[in-house]
Structure formats: structure tokens, C-alpha cells
Amino acid sequence: MWSNFFVQQDEDGRIGVAGAGQAGGLGGMKGGRTQRRSHKMSDSQEGKIKLAFFVAIVGVTLTVLGMGTEFWAELSQPKTFIGNQTCQMAHYGLWKGCIRTLWVADIDPERTSCGPAELPGESNCTYFKFFTSGENAVIFKKTTNRNLNLAAAVLALLSLTMMVMGSICIGMSLSKGVSFFLKPAAFSFILSGVLVLLSVLLFHQSVLALLSSDHSVPTSHKLSWSVACVGSAGAILIFAGILFILLSLPYSPWQKCFPHKNSGAT
């Protein structure tokens, strides 16, 4: 009888331990799920990421718009250089250049040079050959610097690549609901903005090299609206990258720098 009693007690104890172990296991699983859910970003953080991504998209759009147009630089001859009725000017970008013949009567009488490019006239546009055959272009007897033009174009293409990589990282961060990909996205957008600004700087140097190659034809120059688009895009992309860095921090920088007044009392 006593043996049966001890056996029964032992079985009850095992059952109790097993039940406790099972309950602990369920509690651990729930705790693990809760911990995993805590790593998910909140709705407010997701909204901030989408807003910062919209800022980055504005920079990407301006970059594509500027790179696809040929109004980076305008070269203008004096409006009385080739005759009294017509004059010539040129405008070009990273990939293509155009020579325009305008009517002197359409130009502002106070303007001494030919232009602007928005006036009606005949236009002859050609793509630069230093991307294919390696030949320099000649504009008003002035020769382009192939190395500087190629370097500016390559930097612009690399900036587009970094923009695509940053956009992919943000898409993965929003789809997975985690902030792990914000830092790679921030690095990509900041680097793309820096590359865009370097491309503008090299392009300006190529324009100066073009003007200094020949002085037989008097020519005035200016950087046009495409450069303004690309330069603004570079600043916007860097700003968007900084926003992604701030959003990737585990705490709010604003609350860290400006704590609430009531926090000291509590």
C-alpha cells in the first residue's frame, strides 16, 4: 500500500513539474513573440520614413530631369558677329550639344550676346562622340576636354546607381517593418548627393577648359537651369540621407537634446 502511495505521489509530482514546464514554455514563446513584435517599427516611425523617402524621391526626380536635358551650359556669340539678321549660340549637357541659329530681331535690344535658347530658331543637335569613338566635340572652334566630360558623366551615372540602391533599402525596410536598412539607405543617398555635386563641379571645369581651348571666336557662357536642378538635387539627397540617419537611431535626437521639463520632476 505504501509503495502504491509513493508511486502515486511521484507521478503527481512529475505531472506537476511537467505542467509547470509546459506553462513556462508557453510563457517563453509568448515572451519571444512579444520581443519580436517590439522590434517592428511603429506607425508613426513608418510615416516619418515615408516622408523622408518622399524628400529623397524629389531629389531623384530633379537629378533625372537635369541629367536628361542638354541645358547645362549656354555659349553665346555676339549677336552681330556673323551678320545683322542672325546669330548663333550653343547649349549642351552631359550627352548632347545643340547649335541654335536665332533671329537678331527677336533678341532683347539691350542684350549684346545671342540668346537665350528659348527663342525660336533653327537647332542642330548631335550626341557627343567621346562616349563611342572617343572624339572630342568642337563648338565655335573650341574643343571639349574629353576626360573631364567623361568623368562628369560617370559620376552622374554612379549617383543614379546609389539612388537605386537607397530606394531598394527603403523599400525593404518598409516591407519588412524593420529599421535595419535605414543606415545603408542613408549612406547611399548621401553618397549619391555628393557624387551629383562633384559631377556639377567637374562639368564646370570642362566648360572652362572648352573656353580656354580657342580664343578666336568671342564667346560668353553661363550655366543654365539643368545645373540648377542637379545642384538642388544633390543638396536634397544629402538632406534625405541625414533624415534617414536620424530615423535609424534608437532614441529621438529631439528629446535627447531638449528633454521635457517635467522629466526632472518625475
pLDDT 10s digits, 97-142: 999 999 988 888 888 888 888 888 888 999 998 888 888 889 988 9
Structural domain includes residue 1: no
Angle of helix 182-212 relative to helix 225-248, nearest 10 degrees, comes to 160
pLDDT attached to residue 15: 40
Look at residue 182 and tell me if it is in a domain. yes
Show the low-confidence residues of the chain (pLDDT under 50).
1-2, 4-38, 262-266
Q: Is 259 inside any structural domain? A: no
All cell numbers assigned to 54: 518622399
Task: Answer yes or no: is 240 within a domain.
Answer: yes
- In the block, residue with C-alpha cell 526626380: 61
In total, how many domains does the chain have?
A: 1
Question: Could you list the residue range(s) of the whole structural domain that residue 230 is in?
Answer: 44-249
Encoded amino acid at 39, one letter: H
**E strand or H helix at 88:** strand 86-92
**Integer Rg of the chain from CA:** 32
34 domain-assigned: no
C-alpha cell at 195: 557624387
* Of residues 222, 147, 236, 231, the one with CA closest to residue 196: 231
- CATH number reported for the structural domain that contains residue 157 in this entry: 1.20.140.150
Q: How far apart are CA 200 and CA 227, in angstroms?
A: 7
Tell me, what's the pLDDT at 34? 41
What is the helix (H) or strand (E) element at residue 99, kind and residue range?
Answer: strand 96-103
Q: Could you report the per-residue pLDDT of 175-185, keeping only the tens digit for each?
A: 888 778 899 99
Q: Is residue 65 part of a domain?
A: yes
At residue 233, the pLDDT reads 96
- β-bridge mates for residue 113, sequence order: 78
The answer to whether residue 4 is domain-embedded is no
Decide: 89 and 100 in contact? Cβ < 8 Å: yes
Classify residue 220: in a domain, yes or no. Answer: yes
